Amino acid sequence: PDLEAYVLSPTIDVELEWISGRSNFTMDILYQYDFFYDNDYLDDADFLKTSSWWDYTLNDRFSVIYEDQFNMSAGGADYIDRPESQDDYLDFVSWTGIRFKASENFALDVTGIYGTREFDEETEVLHGEDWQDLGFKVESRFSFIPEMAFLFNYTFVDREFKDYDIIPGVTVINACFGWKTKLQTETLVEVKAELYRFEFEGEVPRYTETDYNNYGVSAIVEHPFSDFVKLTLSGFSRFELSDKAVRLFYHDTGGSAELGCDFLYDIHLDAWARYDFLDYDGQATNLEERILRAGFDVSKKLTPWMNVSGGYSYFDRDSDFSSMNIRSNNFSVSANFMLP
């Protein structure tokens, strides 16, 4: 049913950083609780996220990196005839890699990818399926002149579901070749051409072919008007694996704009807007979503160890999926403390 809900979301975010010799360690802990009121449909929800990053420099050319992320959330909706349906799940993502820099003209990153998602077995979750990701990613950059660089990235991820006999896995392959340069006006331009391939194991999904080869492009232009104002524009056409249903992917076409400004008295403004058009494949009928995001954030540094910020964000999703339409207005106020 149509509903209008108001939510208050207090958030605590703690970031720790430790630097010692060749080691650099950072940890971030975030907790958020959503209080819903003036409605009979939505339950209160909480969210805990921890992430850490460790980087050890062996020498001027080699370094080892490790990152992990752990999410735990609970909450959901009691409508759509799903009483007591809480979207409880654990989400763990981890990856390790080696960074190699042969010279100023060539760099290579090799990363191993591991991730899992586990839903609470005692709750009935819409489209909730346990899965595990395993794969690797290779990123390279090489240049012939300082003002121009070429990029090549390759990612291979194999997703297996817990009920493999019912839901066979899917392999996602992404390869891209790009070009990046800095113009005389200090404008940065980056263009990429990408291949997205989906290989479905076992019986293929309904209304789909066995494998998919899809091609996308993306472009980013970053222009500094001055030392205090910078504008970033981007456009993209890409393919992603969806979490709305198992083995479902979509074509995402859109663009974004971001503006950053520094003013007197240590005041900073960030404003952004983004539009996405999502076209889902693998369905009997054509399903689409149109998503608009926009907002701004203003921050001020009060002391060397404290700054405050406030912002507004707008989100509008017009979807062919039932009960997925949503329009929200969010206001935020935060205070950040930086301890030595």
Distance CA 252, CA 194 (A): 13
pLDDT for the residue 21:
83
pLDDT for the residue 248:
73
Residues in the chain: 340
Task: Please count the other Cβ atoms lying within 10 Å of the Cβ belonging to residue 246.
Answer: 20
Task: Please count the other Cβ atoms lying within 10 Å of the Cβ belonging to residue 165.
Answer: 7
Nearest to 93 by CA among 65, 61, 75, 68: 68
Give per-residue burial for 15-34: e unless 16+ CB within 10 Å, then b: eeeeeeeeebeeeeeeeeeb
What is residue 76's DSSP assignment?
B
pLDDT for the residue 86:
47
Only one residue has tokens 């912002």, namely 311
Strands 45-57 and 62-74: antiparallel
pTM: 0.81
Give me the tens of pLDDT residue by residue for the chain, a chain 340 residues long: 455 677 888 999 999 999 888 899 999 999 988 887 766 666 777 888 999 999 999 888 899 999 998 888 776 544 433 334 445 667 788 889 999 988 878 999 999 999 888 766 554 444 456 888 899 999 999 987 877 899 999 999 998 887 656 677 888 899 999 999 988 888 999 999 999 988 877 665 544 555 678 899 999 999 999 989 999 999 999 988 776 666 677 889 999 999 999 998 899 999 999 999 998 865 556 788 999 999 999 999 998 889 999 999 999 999 887 667 888 898 999 988 887 6
Distance CA 167, CA 162 (A): 8
Give per-residue burial for 201-224: e unless 16+ CB within 10 Å, then b: beebbeebeeebebebebebebee
Asked if 67 and 85 touch (Cβ cutoff 8 Å), the reply is: no
Only one residue has tokens 């309904």, namely 206
Asked if 37 and 6 touch (Cβ cutoff 8 Å), the reply is: yes
Going along 121-187, which residue ranges are E strands? 131-145, 148-161, 170-182
113 by DSSP, 3-state: which? strand
Strands 306-319 and 326-337: antiparallel
